[in-house]
Amino acid sequence: MKFHQAALLALLIQLTACSALNAEEAPDLILTNAKIVTVDNYFSIQQAVAIAGERIVAVGNSNVISALAGPETRLIDLSGKTVVPGLIDNHSHVVRATEYWPNDARLDGVTSREKALEILHNKVNDLAEDAWLMSLGGWQEGQFIDNQADFTLTELDAIASDRPIFLQSVYDHIYGNTVWFETMGIPLSVSPGSTDDLEGLARFAVRDSSGHVTGRLNGGFPMIAEAIQRFPTVSADQQVVAIKIAFSYLNSIGLTSVYDPGGVGIKQESYARTKQLAETEGLNVRLFHTLNAGVPTTEEAADRFIDRIRSTKSFQGNATFDLIAMGEIYYSPFHWDGPTEPSTPTPVEIEIGRKILTAAAAESWSVQTHAMQPETMDILFDAMSDINEEYPLRHLRWSITHADNIGASQIERARHLGMNLQMRSTPVLGDRDAVLEKFGDAAYDMPPLRLVQDSGIPFGLGTDGTKANQIAPFVTLWWAVTGRALNGETVMRQTLTREEALIAHTRSNAYLMFQEANLGIIKPGFLADMLVLDRDYLTVPEDQIKDIRPVATIVGGRLVSGEL
């Protein structure tokens, strides 16, 4: 009896899968003989998928789906390859990164210092004459297994002596070659006793005992921000080309959609250029972004941002490009904390933050808030709970992004308000000495992915790329499943199953971006965003998850990377 019921259920699923296709239509593309990981509510595995235009029209048995083919249908036998929905990063500052993407040697997921040097050397050959060689974050020395030593001036001069080199290790420090130091006007050698007299970027340069620069500059975020102000100017036409190059790279690593939260250093014209490209030529990566204000620190800046909240409308775009929320930073004294310390706003600063959130709620804005520590979140929830009494928030899907150290009590408060969590994979880079020193053994529960998963609260996985973290989604999935950093060290004990992690990087992120009817599932009616993988995500040894690559990336039914 049970066998017959199962067979009947399978038949009904197949018949239902085909129901999105009208009798007179034929698919443009059918992929057969595959392992289709649908990530639907049953996490069902199918054999074939049919696509017409931008959308999926049928999923099911290879014989049944193949029979839908017409004379013009392209029929592809995938020989057992695994297909998953296109991966979605719920927190990546990719629009900011497009400006200098052609110069950027990405070190995402690289575990060897020797390999990093090779990538930098090869990148020079791709650059125009005199163009800077850059590596703008997304890595730090702690990820290297073979050698975590500083890059030296000698090594960088050997890579390029005819152009500046600028290497940024997350938001902590940078390296430059001789040409870069000369371009910045930083003296290569000074008297050891005269360093206190140095000004500008020169005051951050690390020097040996003889007063000669080593190639490294310390000084963290302020130093990096000062250095970036001296970068070459990028024209509108150059950035449009850079957007295309950047999005092609994202496709090659498995990303088909990104939620961009603005952040520090973003130029508003970068969004305008991306939007124009979406409208004129289309995008290979779906881009959803926030209304952002840089890093407001004064009441005057907060008031200007409130005016923008009131004069701007969200959700005026489409499933390719749209403005869907405000944040992640909207008044830094109120909520912008760090990996070890909470924010400590004054009563006046709390009131200013509350005023911004009230304006957002009154105008029906979704809000994304950067907050890592439970104390910061409790301050936020106090304000949000009061606002909720006047302007119900649940339907707005407000979110906490990062949420590295969230606890059970904060999860309950978020649940009450109908909020979501955006969890990031920054521990995968390793070098967590400051967090371990501050929190001890509890650092291995940061972020508490298992606690969040078991709570049932909506959450998704993201990176906080492109500077604070690497951006390869299969590296994030590997970290979530294994709890390890790229150097092999265990950095997190609250891990997810492979299925849970994949859901969090697809279907769940679609919900966080109000796209749950379009993205994140391989199902009739949904947009045809999917990856054909070079190995089976569900069965390969855990250590191989981070190395998975798409052999083909499809966005809206179009092949945008690889080949079928």
Q: Do residues 448 and 495 touch, judged by C-beta distance below 8 A?
A: no
State the Cα angle at 488 between 216 and 456, rounded to 5°: 110
- CA distances to 19, 31, 50, 65, 69 from 10, in Å: 15, 19, 18, 14, 21
Share of the chain above pLDDT 70, in %: 96
Distance CA 74, CA 81 (A): 17
Residue 164, pLDDT above cutoff 70:
yes
| Beta-strand pair 550-555/530-533 | antiparallel
Output the six-digit token pair for 114.
């020797």
Report the half-sphere exposure of 234 (CA within 13 A, side-chain side): 23
Distance CA 244, CA 233 (A): 18
Mean pLDDT, to the nearest integer, of 201-211? Answer: 96
Mean pLDDT, to the nearest integer, of 86-115? Answer: 97
- 445 pLDDT tier (thresholds 50, 70, 90): very high
The fold of 100-228 is Diaminopimelate Epimerase; Chain A, domain 1 (3.10.310)
Mean pLDDT, to the nearest integer, of 21-43? Answer: 89
Residue 380, pLDDT above cutoff 60:
yes
Distance CA 309, CA 364 (A): 10
Q: Do residues 562 and 89 touch, judged by C-beta distance below 8 A?
A: no
Q: Do residues 163 and 219 touch, judged by C-beta distance below 8 A?
A: no
Q: Which of 212, 208, 14, 234 is CA-nearest to residue 102?
A: 234
For 262-307, write each residue's pLDDT tens digit.
988 888 999 999 999 999 999 999 999 999 988 899 999 999 999 9
Share of the chain above pLDDT 90, in %: 93
Q: Which of 339, 510, 331 is CA-nearest to residue 420?
A: 510
pLDDT at 194: 84
For 487-513, write each residue's pLDDT tens digit.
999 999 999 999 999 999 999 999 999
pLDDT at 53: 97
Output the six-digit token pair for 542.
């855990």
Distance CA 222, CA 542 (A): 39
Q: Same CATH fold, 100-228 and 2-80?
A: no
Q: Do residues 39 and 507 touch, judged by C-beta distance below 8 A?
A: yes
pTM, whole model, 2 decimals? 0.95
Strands of the 173-176 sheet, one edge to the other: 133-136, 165-169, 173-176, 213-217, 205-207
Contacts of 406 (CB under 8 A, 6+ apart): 374, 377, 400, 414, 421, 447, 448, 451, 452
Mean pLDDT, to the nearest integer, of 121-127? Answer: 96
Distance CA 148, CA 141 (A): 5
Output the six-digit token pair for 24.
């007179």
Distance CA 277, CA 244 (A): 9
Q: Do residues 329 and 292 touch, judged by C-beta distance below 8 A?
A: yes
Q: Which of 21, 29, 15 is CA-nearest to residue 69?
A: 29
Q: Do residues 492 and 436 touch, judged by C-beta distance below 8 A?
A: no
Q: Do residues 417 and 393 touch, judged by C-beta distance below 8 A?
A: yes
For 463, other C-beta atoms within 10 Å of its C-beta total 28
Residue 7, pLDDT above cutoff 50:
no
Mean pLDDT, to the nearest integer, of 374-387? Answer: 98
Distance CA 403, CA 464 (A): 12
Distance CA 85, CA 528 (A): 8
Output the six-digit token pair for 6.
């199962």
Report, at the CATH architecture level, how domain 236-555 is classified.
Alpha-Beta Barrel (3.20)
Mean pLDDT, to the nearest integer, of 333-346? Answer: 97
Give me the residue spans of the domains in the chain. 2-80, 100-228, 236-555
- 192 pLDDT tier (thresholds 50, 70, 90): confident
3-state secondary structure of 228: helix
For 168-184, write each residue's pLDDT tens digit.
999 999 999 999 999 99
- Dihedral angle, C-alpha 233, 238, 239, 244, nearest 10 °: -150
Output the six-digit token pair for 218.
């310390």
Output the six-digit token pair for 234.
């990028």
pLDDT at 1: 43
196-200, 369-373, 464-468: lowest mean pLDDT where? 196-200
Q: Do residues 146 and 114 touch, judged by C-beta distance below 8 A?
A: yes
Distance CA 336, CA 333 (A): 6
- CA distances to 121, 507, 511, 544, 554 from 518, in Å: 41, 10, 10, 30, 14
- 207 pLDDT tier (thresholds 50, 70, 90): very high
Q: Do residues 53 and 557 touch, judged by C-beta distance below 8 A?
A: yes
pLDDT at 15: 47
Mean pLDDT, to the nearest integer, of 128-141? Answer: 96
Output the six-digit token pair for 316.
């005026």
Residue 24, pLDDT above cutoff 90:
no
Look-up: residue for tokens 């030296």? Answer: 152
Average pLDDT, rounded, for the chain: 95
Number of helices (H) and strands (E), helices first, in the chain?
19, 23
Strands of the 558-562 sheet, one edge to the other: 45-46, 35-37, 82-85, 530-533, 550-555, 558-562
Residue 6, pLDDT above cutoff 60:
no
pLDDT at 18: 46
pLDDT at 4: 46
- 20 pLDDT tier (thresholds 50, 70, 90): low
Output the six-digit token pair for 115.
């390999």
Name the CATH code of domain 2-80 (choices 2.30.40.10, 3.30.450.20, 3.40.50.2020, 3.40.640.10). Answer: 2.30.40.10
Strands of the 29-32 sheet, one edge to the other: 55-60, 48-52, 29-32, 74-77
For 219-258, write each residue's pLDDT tens digit.
999 999 999 999 999 999 999 999 999 999 999 999 999 9
Residue 525, pLDDT above cutoff 90:
yes
